Amino acid sequence: MVIGIDMGGTSTKYGLVRDDGSVVARGSIPTGGTLDEYVDLLCRSVSGLVLSNGLKQTDAVGMGCPNGNYHTGCIEHAVNLPWKGVVPIARMVSERIGAPCAITNDANAAALGEMRYGAARGISDFIMVTLGTGVGGGIVTGGRLLYGHDGFAGELGHVIVERNGRLCGCGRRGCLEAYCSATGVSRSARERTGREMTSKQVFQAAVNGEKWAQEIFSQTGALLGRTLADFVAVTSPEAIVIAGGLSRAGELLLQPVRKAMDESLLPMWKGKIRILSSALPSDDAAVLGAASLALEI
């Protein structure tokens, strides 16, 4: 049994996971306090969970963290965490829990989870795209995550899709993330209607037959689909797995994604690249992803 930890900007979830993918027990703590306070609380909570389930020790710990670097075991300059600079989280957790610990970013962890337990079982070459507040990416090639030179490959949300387009949180203009995330959809709605609303409200309006809301989903999907066609030209995957809050819009989003991707693909790939939805329960997906990383140690 291993531990999977999903560190988010406000809360951290963790779970004790059997290698068949069942989450035996779960817990969560707030992401906050000083770094030492946080790591102490996390490790005591996790160890408590392990003991409560009749185990002396866990075999390994996997963590999905914002800006988590697999190569170094450090969180590096995450903007949405209280601790700045470079945080050697894997070493700290490993020392306190007494088991090896590996980290990576959330989208990479999600890719490992889908490959072991979800939509990408049996698929060795795929691209994971998470559509949440931002857009994350994880690339699997030959059955292994592509980490790149510095551990930060797969920053798919920061590919430029609109020259001089919307300002992105990264300070540049026109990133995929500024359009095809929950935040992007909400912004499209504000530009269109002048009203503040969440992507969920836009989804509801589309389901209720509001034409403007349906158009936002078809335009968002078309932009994502065209961009996915470019990613296919780079890594030639068998499938693309889509997860994250915005993907709950289902076919309203995925149908235009498929259409635009197929129209944009080179002839040799047309009709051959599958777009799949995450096949993990959304509450446990991140923990299962992190646990999958632990199982690779």
Interface residues with its own copies (CB under 8 A)? 76-77, 124-125, 137, 139, 141-142, 144, 146-156, 158-160, 163, 170-172, 226, 229-231, 233-238, 264, 266-268, 272
Structural element, H or E, at residue 11: strand 11-17
CB-nearer residue toward its own copies: 190 or 272: 272
User: Least distance in Å: CB of 287 to its own copies?
Assistant: 26
CB-nearer residue toward its own copies: 91 or 270: 270
Three-state DSSP class for 84? coil
CB-nearer residue toward its own copies: 153 or 197: 153
Residue appearing with tokens 């096949």: 279
User: Least distance in Å: CB of 98 to its own copies?
Assistant: 30
CB-nearer residue toward its own copies: 73 or 136: 136
**Which of 46, 70, 79 shows the shortest CA–CA distance to 146?**
70
Beta partners for residue 28, in sequence order = 13
Q: Considering just the CA atoms, what is the radius of gyration of the chain in Å?
A: 19
What distance in Å separates the CA atoms of residue 293 and residue 138, rounded to the nearest whole number? 13
Q: Which two tokens stand for residue 96?
A: 């306190």
CB-nearer residue toward its own copies: 15 or 157: 157
User: Least distance in Å: CB of 251 to its own copies?
Assistant: 25
User: Least distance in Å: CB of 14 to its own copies?
Assistant: 28
Q: Which two tokens stand for residue 148?
A: 């790149």
CB-nearer residue toward its own copies: 4 or 118: 118
Residue pair 136/129 in contact (Cβ under 8 Å)? The answer is yes
User: Least distance in Å: CB of 261 to its own copies?
Assistant: 12
DSSP class of residue 288 equals H
Beta partners for residue 76, in sequence order = 86
Three-state DSSP class for 119? coil
User: Least distance in Å: CB of 79 to its own copies?
Assistant: 11
User: Least distance in Å: CB of 146 to its own copies?
Assistant: 5
Q: What is the tally of helices (H) and strands (E) in the chain?
A: 8, 13
**Which of 164, 166, 102, 89 shows the shortest CA–CA distance to 135?**
166
Residue appearing with tokens 């999903």: 6
Residue appearing with tokens 């080179």: 266
CB-nearer residue toward its own copies: 171 or 271: 171
CB-nearer residue toward its own copies: 56 or 266: 266
User: Least distance in Å: CB of 262 to its own copies?
Assistant: 12
What distance in Å separates the CA atoms of residue 43 and residue 96, rounded to the nearest whole number? 6
Beta partners for residue 2, in sequence order = 17
Phi and psi at residue 53, to the nearest 5°: -100, 25
